[in-house]
Chain A
């Protein structure tokens, strides 16, 4: 970095800045201005409208679809906390929070109900459907026979949270909130009990008779296999709390669901991990088929995942709310899912997979749709040539009717060929998503499952969504603050540097202020996270150092200062980009003007207001619009710092969009948020453009 070369580059830049102006005035954007603008906008609007209609027409047939492979569904107001299936899937037990346990046959006919003293927390059914173990919040574990008769019950000190029964009913194991596990024989005699001293709710039983084994998973991540007498045979450690376990009847494979959202398959003979699958949120329940060749994992993210023997995802059953419990029949052909919103659903696996295959056919349809749109846009171009004023002119020029145009087009085929890749990409990845977003904002959208037109319901639900509303308030604050930040500090620093009398220090100050641009944007946020760290952050340590200990706090965790902390990031906000733009604007102000003002005796202050600022209006407006567009879409800044919390205090609309789409799978609502932001940005841009054209007289 020799000094002389840098100086040279400095000069070169300033000259480029000066010559850059006429260049950009001859650019495409200026083609949009005065005379041709109305026509061009009209044409663009026509193209937009046409493409929108086409896309609507293409998208509509995709919308009419029902949930694939569902056999039947039982809805009630009470959440389904436990489901279990027998070997052949012809017995389905559903336990709810309203104390009821119901047994259905394979077609959804109610066989018998059973009522416990409090909500049902766990249920297990033997492969032949002859034995049911039920754990309830009334502190009892019940053993029922296939007709729903209560054989015995046993009371613990605290609610029983889960239960399991051996295939022949000879062994019943139950876990309780008193941090213990209880094991009984068929007659209800307590064989043994162990106080684990840690939360335990994952239990399953395999084998039969004397060979029956209990598999237990606890909150410290330990999975233990006990024999009938309570001796532990094998221990395996996982990294997270074990929420649910399921084991094959021969004990060869153990599937464990963990609190971090993973489902892990273990080898039952040595405890080695075979594969692991990761859901998007905590796993609540797992179930394994008898042969270990398929597994079902229910998660708080609102999905049940059907996995094959190698842990690969075969199908994702999306539900409208958290999945609390899942059951898989022994042969893996039927599956049942119980959700928080009170639905118990039974699916036929083969039909569901066929449905998935059909949705891959839908992919092809998407492709065809895109190609179709391209073709139709070409047609639109022809139409425009025939019916619009500019098109008519072209028509006249080419003189000889449709054939003439075709000939011109054919002779220009190389031009079309050269822009074809560009157009194809833009249509696929920019135009299509834009219209798809605008359309799907009015739908309940679960890609690959169903798309349903719901009108304005998404927008209505947003009006009641406190995260979104709070996000709007925060976005407004962030927009104002971000504009204020960029309009003050960088302009001030640019003006200061510009007023330094020494070229050398001008150069060094400018360079040093720009250096932080080499840090990726994410790194800056992460470093500030560290500065705000409550335990060992620079800010709290500095406050302690100067004796202001009472001011230290959890900066991101305190609702009253969280947003302020986020805004404070990057202090003193000398944004390198804005600085360079302002500085470039200042050095392109001609020396004559400045000298003239000096001769007239204007003070620096006066010069700033009367000369520099008016001549910088172009830069001001550029930064104004860029900052506005970016601030409306603020995402990283909150996602990486507070994640929107505490409560809803730092949510932004973009963050809510991300959460709705990625965590809750509400693509329709997410699209609606995107659409709202789009219109806000559009309005802001138009207002700004008006403002620009009214004040360009300052230039020249």
Chain B
């Protein structure tokens, strides 16, 4: 019963919180509506909502709890006592797991980080130019860039792979960094341009009068003012590239240069670890960069995905 009991355990806090709140919830309706009957009816409905949400939450968390439980067991515990709690806790699984994937995690951080930095730099520069400059052919070039939004990665996968082969870049970090930088720019450029366009013209006029060059007004006015949107672009790109699977699978063949998403799937074959525990621990460790990123960047991530979408 380990996994299930565990699951309830982790929800325990939420249950308590809910119970603590249901008293307060009962108070609230009194302020808005007076009739006792309607309070009862509403509370009944609320209880149903809580029940359904809790059940869904528990089911959602079963795989995660299962993952954590397995990561703390050894093979004997898994095969012999499947339903029991880890006993003893095999914390060394995490040491073994980290041995197997630390390199891939570093590769991922390096390639995602570099390409994100480059994307933000290039997209903000060209976003600035498209928003603030006038030059012949501007709209044509911009439309040409936007048209790329219609091209799905599956169409370019093979030709881009052949291009990388022809450039002799296969199995290098460049094979990841360059296409990711390039592909990420389109959407980033869209966000940056629309944001830069909202900045008041007066700021730039004032800067020009004070003798600032174009690059100065970009670096000292536009960038600081648009920091939120740039952070958004960065977070979205980091998450997207960190999760990339198919492209690294195609262009990177050496396990030493492989990124974490692919390395996890080759865990057993490449490193010779066959125990489930360390493998599961590796899965958890691979999530750490995303946990760190989301713990402060979730807001930006969500905004990046919702703003400028096809919704408008």
A interface, CB within 8 angstroms of B = 1, 9, 12-13, 16-17, 20-21, 23-30, 32, 40, 43-44, 47-48, 362-363, 366-367, 377, 381, 384-385, 390, 394, 398, 405, 408-409, 412, 414-416, 418-419, 421-423, 425-426, 428-434, 436-438, 440, 445, 447-448, 489, 493, 496-497, 499-502, 504-505, 508-509, 512-524, 526-528, 530-531, 536, 538, 541, 545, 571-572, 574, 577, 580-581, 584, 604, 618-619, 621-622, 625, 629, 632-633, 635-636, 640, 654, 657-658, 661-662, 667, 670-671, 674-675, 677-678, 681-682, 685, 688-689, 692
Supplied contacts A21-B312, A508-B17, A523-B283, 12 more A-B pairs, CB within 8 Å: A26-B198, A44-B143, A412-B134, A418-B125, A430-B183, A447-B162, A496-B52, A500-B50, A520-B243, A531-B66, A618-B312, A678-B151
Q: From the candidates A415, A489, A536, A670, name the one contacting B129 in the complex (CB within 8 A).
A: A415
Q: Does B252 contact A (CB under 8 A)?
A: no
Contact indicator B287/A520 (Cβ below 8 Å): yes
Bound Cα distance A521, B310 (Å): 23
Q: Does B123 contact A (CB under 8 A)?
A: yes
Contact indicator B59/A571 (Cβ below 8 Å): yes
Contact indicator B312/A408 (Cβ below 8 Å): no
Bound Cα distance A394, B60 (Å): 57
The 4 closest A-B pairs by CB, nearest first: A412-B135, A27-B194, A433-B159, A436-B159
Chain B hits for A425, CB < 8 A: 122, 178, 181-182, 185
Chain A hits for B150, CB < 8 A: 682, 685
Q: From the candidates A440, A538, A584, A654, name the one contacting B306 in the complex (CB within 8 A).
A: A584
Taking the closest CB of chain B, its distance from the CB of A544, in whole angstroms, is: 9
User: Given contacts A409-B136, A422-B123, are A678 and B24 in contact (CB under 8 A)?
Assistant: no
Contact indicator B125/A501 (Cβ below 8 Å): no
**Please, what's the 1-or-0 string for B23-64, where 1 marks a CB less than 8 Å from any CB in chain A?**
011001100000000000010011001101100110111111
Q: Does B205 contact A (CB under 8 A)?
A: no
Contact indicator B83/A545 (Cβ below 8 Å): yes
Q: From the candidates A527, A574, A584, A662, name the one contacting B283 in the complex (CB within 8 A).
A: A527
Chain B hits for A688, CB < 8 A: 310
Chain A hits for B261, CB < 8 A: 520-522
Residue of B nearest to A431 (CB): B148
Chain A hits for B242, CB < 8 A: 520
User: Given contacts A431-B148, A574-B56, are A674 and B299 in contact (CB under 8 A)?
Assistant: no
Contact indicator B260/A622 (Cβ below 8 Å): no
Q: Does B234 contact A (CB under 8 A)?
A: no
Residue of A nearest to B166 (CB): A363
Chain B hits for A384, CB < 8 A: 137, 140
Bound Cα distance A572, B66 (Å): 16
Bound Cα distance A119, B93 (Å): 53
Contact indicator B64/A426 (Cβ below 8 Å): no
Bound Cα distance A426, B125 (Å): 15
Contact indicator A434/B156 (Cβ below 8 Å): yes
Taking the closest CB of chain B, its distance from the CB of A137, in whole angstroms, is: 35
User: Given contacts A409-B135, A502-B24, are A47 and B53 in contact (CB under 8 A)?
Assistant: no
User: Given contacts A433-B159, A505-B50, are A520 and B265 in contact (CB under 8 A)?
Assistant: no
Q: Does B106 contact A (CB under 8 A)?
A: no
Contact indicator A48/B141 (Cβ below 8 Å): no
Taking the closest CB of chain B, its distance from the CB of A171, in whole angstroms, is: 39
Q: Give the residues from 229 to 269 in chain B that come closer than 8 angstroms, CB to CB, to chain A.
A: 242-243, 245-246, 250, 260-262, 264-265
Chain A hits for B306, CB < 8 A: 17, 20, 580-581, 584, 622
Bound Cα distance A105, B83 (Å): 70
Contact indicator B136/A398 (Cβ below 8 Å): yes
Q: From the candidates B53, B82, B262, name the one contacting A541 in the complex (CB within 8 A).
A: B82
Taking the closest CB of chain A, its distance from the CB of B36, in whole angstroms, is: 16
Taking the closest CB of chain A, its distance from the CB of B306, in whole angstroms, is: 6
Chain A hits for B123, CB < 8 A: 422
Chain B hits for A523, CB < 8 A: 67, 264, 283, 286-287
Bound Cα distance A431, B151 (Å): 9
Residue of B nearest to A20 (CB): B307
Bound Cα distance A363, B167 (Å): 6
Contact indicator A23/B59 (Cβ below 8 Å): no
Contact indicator A429/B303 (Cβ below 8 Å): no
Residue of B nearest to A545 (CB): B83
Chain A hits for B49, CB < 8 A: 496, 499-500
Bound Cα distance A9, B299 (Å): 8
Contact indicator B63/A426 (Cβ below 8 Å): no
**Please, what's the 1-or-0 string for B83-115, where 1 marks a CB less than 8 Å from any CB in chain A?**
100000000000000000000000000000000
Chain A hits for B287, CB < 8 A: 518-520, 523
Q: From the candidates B144, B157, B311, name the one contacting A657 in the complex (CB within 8 A).
A: B157
**Please, what's the 1-or-0 string for B157-169, where 1 marks a CB less than 8 Å from any CB in chain A?**
1111111011110
Contact indicator A671/B159 (Cβ below 8 Å): yes
Sample (18) of A-B pairs whose CB atoms are under 8 Å apart: A28-B193, A47-B140, A381-B136, A414-B214, A415-B138, A426-B182, A437-B158, A489-B56, A500-B53, A502-B21, A513-B56, A520-B243, A530-B66, A581-B305, A632-B154, A658-B246, A675-B155, A682-B150
Chain A hits for B155, CB < 8 A: 433-434, 437-438, 674-675, 677-678
B-side interface size class = 35 or more
Bound Cα distance A42, B155 (Å): 22
Residue of A nearest to B229 (CB): A23
**Please, what's the 1-or-0 string for B119-146, where 1 marks a CB less than 8 Å from any CB in chain A?**
0001101101110011111111111111
Chain B hits for A526, CB < 8 A: 264-265, 283
Taking the closest CB of chain B, its distance from the CB of A502, in whole angstroms, is: 5
Taking the closest CB of chain B, its distance from the CB of A183, in whole angstroms, is: 37
Taking the closest CB of chain B, its distance from the CB of A248, in whole angstroms, is: 29
B66, B136, B160, B181: residue with the most chain A Cβ atoms closer than 10 Å? B136
Bound Cα distance A517, B302 (Å): 11
Taking the closest CB of chain A, its distance from the CB of B39, in whole angstroms, is: 11
Q: From the candidates B66, B181, B246, name the one contacting A538 in the complex (CB within 8 A).
A: B66
Q: From the candidates A13, A28, A621, A682, name the one contacting B310 in the complex (CB within 8 A).
A: A621
User: Given contacts A20-B306, A425-B185, A538-B66, are A381 and B141 in contact (CB under 8 A)?
Assistant: yes
Taking the closest CB of chain A, its distance from the CB of B251, in whole angstroms, is: 10
Chain A hits for B60, CB < 8 A: 513, 516, 572, 574
Contact indicator B126/A419 (Cβ below 8 Å): yes
Contact indicator B144/A667 (Cβ below 8 Å): no
Bound Cα distance A394, B138 (Å): 11
Chain B hits for A381, CB < 8 A: 136-137, 140-141
Bound Cα distance A524, B49 (Å): 27
Q: From the candidates A409, A538, A662, name the one contacting B3 in the complex (CB within 8 A).
A: A538
User: Given contacts A509-B53, A667-B162, are A385 and B312 in contact (CB under 8 A)?
Assistant: no
Chain B hits for A496, CB < 8 A: 49, 52-53
Chain B hits for A421, CB < 8 A: 122, 125
Contact indicator A385/B154 (Cβ below 8 Å): no
Residue of A nearest to B180 (CB): A429
Contact indicator A522/B265 (Cβ below 8 Å): yes
Chain A hits for B79, CB < 8 A: 536
Bound Cα distance A500, B133 (Å): 49
Bound Cα distance A72, B181 (Å): 46
Bound Cα distance A27, B250 (Å): 35
User: Given contacts A17-B306, A629-B152, A674-B154, are A528 and B63 in contact (CB under 8 A)?
Assistant: yes
Residue of B nearest to A21 (CB): B312
Residue of A nearest to B305 (CB): A577
Q: Does B276 contact A (CB under 8 A)?
A: yes
Q: From the candidates A432, A489, A502, A515, name the one contacting B25 in the complex (CB within 8 A).
A: A502
User: Given contacts A538-B66, A541-B83, A640-B265, are A422 and B166 in contact (CB under 8 A)?
Assistant: no
Residue of A nearest to B59 (CB): A572
Bound Cα distance A681, B243 (Å): 22
